[in-house]
Amino acid sequence: MASRASSNWLLFISSVLLFATLCAARVPYAPGLSEKFYDKSCPQAAPIVRYFVQKFLKEDSTLAGAFNRFQFHDCWVQGCDGSVLLNSTDTNSAEREAHVNFGLRGIKEVDAIKDALEHVCPGVVSCADILILAARDATSIAGGPSWSVALGRRDSRVSNDLAADGNLPFPVFPWNVLVDNFARKNFSAREMVVLSGAHTIGKSHCNGILPHIYNFTGGDNETDIDPTLNPDFAKFLKKNCPFGNRTNSIPIDFTAGKFDNAYYQSVLNGRGVFTSDSALVTTTLGKGIVSSFAKGNSTFFKEYADAMVKMGNLGVLTGSQGEIRRKCQFVNSVASY
């Protein structure tokens, strides 16, 4: 009997240890990436990025949302390759010109970070890696989670607006279209809801909000509002986004400068700024996930960090692929100091 008890106890301990190991397991990095990539070539890289991100957020806390948006809008199109930063040319309309990238902010801030890195470590740190570091740092500085980042991405020489509009989700998407969009990148419905939580920081131009409060069903009617919206919140949106005004901007949630779970509380209460926000509670599955995140930060924070690491693996260029741009807005053949 004692032997059997000992065996059962050892089995129990082994099970606990295995469970703890699985829980602690991190999202694996894409081949060619490493947390130590710049340890010898530019050990100042991560501290420089964080210094500037902190500086910019002191000046404008809503830029935390802009830095998060950069990672998503870069990685989702043709991988995490810095292509979202490229300027258009006479013969090509770049991603930044896409409808879905309307109001993209933070270009000059990323340029400032790149200039500082070029001064210290010329030709070493990619624009793609700057975006990954900046998103992580902006999140943690705003009160959210932090996570380890693997680096070593190289920059693309290609950027196209149609590719952006064909890959990124629009703020008018309903639940099923959002789920399908994320599934194409091998992200689950839960991960989609998790990453939607980035809307807890930053602000949005009215461009993406107007379809939520005017002409919701396509009848060209100024009184045609999404019926799931809280009536008082709908009035607030209309006041700040008059019919036809695409350039005004408002915070996406009531703690826009702080990374927390307030976004999910807002969505549950009919205060989603975008149609895609309100869509999260239109199904039993979605509402259950939103409700769980609305109760506390801990689970949301961990899953958000994991999802951002997973996103950072998408379509990376490493080794001899791509290039290390000297200026983030230009490929090297036209960039100059």
Q: Which residues are documented as binding site?
A: 74, 77, 79, 81, 83, 95, 169, 199-200, 253, 260
Binding residues for Ca(2+): 74, 77, 79, 81, 83, 95, 200, 253, 260
Q: Which of 73, 99, 119, 205 is catalytic?
A: 73
Identity of the residue numbered 140: S
CA-based nearest residue to 154, from 38, 28, 308? 38
Q: Which helix (H) or strand (E) holds 313?
A: none
Sequence ranges of the binding site for heme b: 199
Cα–Cα nearest to 234, from 207, 262, 211: 211
Please give the C-alpha separations between residue 1 and each of 4, 7, 69, 334, in angstroms, as whole numbers: 5, 10, 60, 79
- In degrees, rounded to 5, the angle at the alpha carbon of residue 86 between the alpha carbons of residues 69 and 56 is 45
The three-point CA angle 44-45-51 to 5° equals 85
Sequence-distant (≥ 6) Cβ neighbours of residue 330 within 8 angstroms: 86, 87
DSSP string, 97-110: GSGGGTT---HHHH
The answer to whether residue 205 is catalytic is no
In the 8-state DSSP scheme, what is residue 82? S
Q: How many CB atoms lie within 10 A of CB 183?
A: 13
Distance of alpha carbon 196 from its chain centroid, rounded?
A: 8
Would you list which residues are annotated within the binding site for substrate? 169
Distance CA 234, CA 74 (A): 31
- Give catalytic residue positions: 73
